[in-house]
Structure 1
Amino acid sequence: MTEQDDNARHATKMAKKKAARDKIMATKTEEKGLVIVHTGKGKGKSSAAFGMIFRHIAHGRKCAVVQFIKGGMSTGERDLILSRFSDMCAFHTMGEGFTWETQDKSRDTEMAQAAWEKAKELIRDPSNHMVLLDEINIALRYDYIDINDVVTFLTEEKPEMTHVVLTGRNAKDELIEVADLVTEMELVKHPFRSGIKAQIGVEY
């Protein structure tokens, strides 16, 4: 087979793929505010969610972030949003650190519930196109927040066109059930296991 024949076969194959793809895409006409869940043991859940937040900012669409667990430590995303895009993205760090650092369940519960109240306020605000609930799955895992309350709010009160992103390991089955998009980050390798600490620009 000549190179010309091979190119012709490839072009024919790709044309068929494009026609099939176009046919599928023609049926995708609806829009809605999505409930998006990033979970799993692998790295990248919050990073991917912040990617969508920055897309909203780039498109001039208002958005908001509520951090449920991470304390007041400086992170690249937080610092950039607060210094450059605070008019486009409200940023609320409501947690006081990871649960193994605070070691105070009643305080963690109080802070998580306050964060959930702030989250509901931001989601109800029609000017916000996307609200990121960072690490809420951890708060749900430890029952700091009632999963039934979260599911009921997302299914009954969330504005139709508002996207809500929920991150963190061990997403509850009830949340996965009502979500529109669920991604599980799978851990294959992690430098932490080789004694490498969290590094600027990668983890924070």
Structure 2
Amino acid sequence: MSEDVIPPADDARHAEKMAKKKAARDKIMATKTEEKGLVIVHTGKGKGKTSAAFGMIFRHIAHGKPCAVVQFIKGAMSTGERDLIERHFSDICQFHTMGEGFTWETQDRARDVATAKAAWEKAKDLIRDERNSMVLLDEINIALRYDYIDLTEVVSFLKDEKPYMTHVVLTGRNAKEELIEIADLVTEMELVKHPFRSGIKGQLGVEY
């Protein structure tokens, strides 16, 4: 018998197994009826935190749901996501690049603190606006790590002032435990290999 041909008995067992799995899955799904705006954290040393967050922003855009982005660290350098949104979807997605680059680029802590605080004020306005179904706070975890903005205030705002149906996504490595504790969904990107270690620079269409 050819290795590519599945014996009828194996095929029947597979179908029976999948039917049981589907029934169990359907039973679980029937209990999941609630909807709410989620606090979502993407953290970890691995790549993909911002990319995954923008995937959700583009889903919102595709479904015609208003959303917004605030970038806390990234500066004036052009990125594919920002260019695409500002060129084609600015009517449904507000995009605010508030940062001026990483702290080793500005070399001015007072300026970095002022910039981060301004970004947080803009973020609060966008989150309070219930027309926005999702607000992405890109690299806010970096601003929190360096104490550019107050962690207690951020946590309290998300717990007490975020509209019930609004999703808020927070990205950046080294997410604070207090933030992880109140989040509904936390994903940690694990670094396994990185081309930078082999002397390969960030590339158009991959990193930005």
Q: Does 1:184 align with 2:198?
A: no
Trace 1:78-89 onto structure 2 (pairs within 5 A). Answer: 78-89=82-93
Amino acid at match of 1:17: K
Please give the secondary structure, in 2, of the residue aligned with 1:166. Answer: strand
Deviation sequence 1:116-162 (CA, Å, 0-9, x none): 00000000001100000000000000000000000000000000000
Distance 2:28 2:18 in 1: 15
User: In the aligned structure 2, how far is the partner of 1:16 from the partner of 1:118?
Assistant: 50
Paired amino acid for 1:67: Q
Shift of 1:103: 1.0
Q: How does 1:123-142 map to 2 (within 5 A)?
A: 123-142=127-146
Deviations 1:10-50 (A, max 9, x none): 00000000000000000000000000000000000000000
Counterpart selection for 2:98 from 84, 94, 97: 94
Quote the residue 2:177 is aligned against. 173
Query: Among residues 67, 79, 82, which one is paired with 1:75 in the alignment?
Result: 79
**Matching residue's letter, 1:158:** K
Paired positions, count = 204
SS across alignment from 2:28: helix
- Residues 68-103 of structure 1 deviation map (CA, whole Å, 9 limit, x = unaligned): 000011000000000000001000000000111111
Structure 2 portions without partners, runs of 5+: 1-5
> Which residue matches 2:167?
163
The residue identity in structure 2 corresponding to 1:162 is T
User: Aligned residues: percent identity?
Assistant: 82
Q: Tell me, in whole angstroms, the C-alpha distance in 2 between the residues paired with 1:99 and 1:87.
A: 32
C-alpha RMSD of matched pairs (Å): 1.0
Partner residue of 1:17 out of 3, 14, 21: 21
Residue identity in the other structure for 1:54: F
Aligned residue type for 2:109? K
Could you say which residue in structure 2 is the equivalent of 1:106? Answer: 110
| Structure 1 segments of 4+ aligned residues over 6 angstroms from their partners | none
* Counterpart-to-counterpart distance in 2, 1:54 and 1:88: 11
SS of equivalent to 1:74:
coil
Aligned counterpart for 1:193 among listed residues 186, 191, 197:
197
Q: Distance in 1 between matches of 2:177 and 2:52?
A: 21
In the alignment, the residues of structure 1 paired with residue 130 and residue 166 of structure 2 have an alpha-carbon distance, to the nearest angstrom, of 8
TM-score by length of 1: 0.99
Normalization by structure 2: what TM-score?
0.97
CA distance in 2, matches of 1:98, 1:50: 20
